[in-house]
Structure 1
Amino acid sequence: MKSLFTKEQIDELRLNPYTYHVSNTTIKFTEEFKDAFWRLYLQDMPLRDIVRTLGYDYDVLGEKRVGGFIYNLRKNRLTPEQRVASSSPQRITRPPANTDYTHMYASEAIKNMSAELTYLRQEVEFFKKTFAAGDKKGFRGLIMDTSSSKFQLIHELVSREDNVLTITELCSIARVSRSGYYNWVNSKDKRDEQERKDRHDFELILEAFSHRGYDKGVRGIHMRLLHMDPPILMNVKKSVG
């Protein structure tokens, strides 16, 4: 039996823009939520992480509600052939190596070759981006210098409508862990807040640097910040950065 939502939980669920309707017994989601959920589901993201990424508490929704939602979503999104073909038809896997297309019907061979070509093109594209973002210090430059850069590229690719590569495959290529990627995704609010703070600090430094129409060194910037109203105490190294 599904647990009932409390009044506090209902008020919180209504704040999420993906909530279409909620009562003490049921919750209905928007089409945008279903599309976003399906994209992440196809990328092999764990259910708890999908729910959390889209702004909900998995434990509040409950395992039975989430399971029922997935059942209906798959029922509506997959063809009968796909549902029969595999117990996990939603997962997009790497095309088999050395596939012999000569023993297939022409229509089937074209469909499989098209899927393989799409997969390989995206894989090559991701390799190119990881190389372009590398430190260019030689062969090791093939691997990006920060995990954050890798996570950003992975996130951009899996968010595309036409993506066929799973998060597992992309993390393997970039040599990062899936858990690290999911932690990065779930810390977006903290990164955004830090970016806003850094931007504000930069504007203050720029204002101090240009005060009275002439450029200043580190000491001059530091002193100008202290003479602002209110005074600002900032790390000198940060000012230099």
Structure 2
Amino acid sequence: MSRKIFTEEQQQLLRQNPYIYSVTDTRINLTKEFKEIFLAEYKSGTSPRKILEDHGFDISIIGERRIWSISNHIRTEYKKYGEFHEGYRPRSVPAADAS
């Protein structure tokens, strides 16, 4: 399955959302604030699609596959680090000291 590429126009539309930290032709990076909102709403039983729609994300641009990827990435980041990072956490950034 190929990766969906965002056109320049779609990238511009996505950048208008205050919860998007940055956008490239293949990646959406979310703000720390949105990740916190997403996780709280997800834990209260709201579906990932509804959370994204309620916060101004255009599902027709994002695509169905990314809805679940976003959800998975947010939950995985929290489980792994216990907190959220603004944008994308590079693999070289170590987790916060647990002491």
TM-score w.r.t. the length of structure 2 is 0.70
Specify which structure has the higher proportion of helix: 1
Equivalent residue, structure 1, for 2:39:
38
- Counterpart of 2:63 in structure 1 is 62
CA contact (8 A) 2:20 2:28 kept: yes
Larger relative strand fraction: 2
User: Which runs of 5 or more structure 2 residues have no equivalent in the other structure?
Assistant: 81-99
Q: Work out the percentage of aligned pairs sharing the same amino acid.
A: 34
Is the Cα–Cα contact under 8 Å of residues 48 and 71 in structure 2 kept in the other structure?
Answer: no
**Unaligned regions of 5+ residues in structure 1, if any?**
80-241
CA RMSD of aligned residues (A): 1.6
Contact 2:48 / 2:68 at 8 angstroms: preserved in 1? Answer: no
SS class of match (2:22): strand
1:30 alignment partner AA: T
The count of aligned residue pairs is 79
**Pairing of 1:181-220 with structure 2 (within 5 A):** none
Give the match's secondary structure for 2:56. coil
Aligned-pair distance for 1:76? Answer: 2.4
Amino acid at match of 2:67: V
Tell me the SS of whatever aligns to 1:20.
strand
* 1:152-163 pair list within 5 angstroms: none
Q: Is the 8 A contact 2:49 2:67 kept in 1?
A: no
Q: CA deviation at 1:35?
A: 0.6
Higher-Rg structure is 1
Q: Is the 8 A contact 1:14 1:22 kept in 2?
A: yes
* Counterpart for residue 74 of structure 1: 75
> Which structure carries more relative contact order (alpha carbon 8 Å, separation 6+)?
2
Determine the structure 1 residue equivalent to 2:18: 17
One-letter amino acid matched to 2:38: F
Q: Residue 78 of structure 1: SS of its match in structure 2? A: helix
Q: Give the corresponding residue for 2:48.
A: 47
Counterpart code for 1:8: E
Equivalent-residue separation in structure 1 for 2:23 and 2:71 (angstroms) = 18
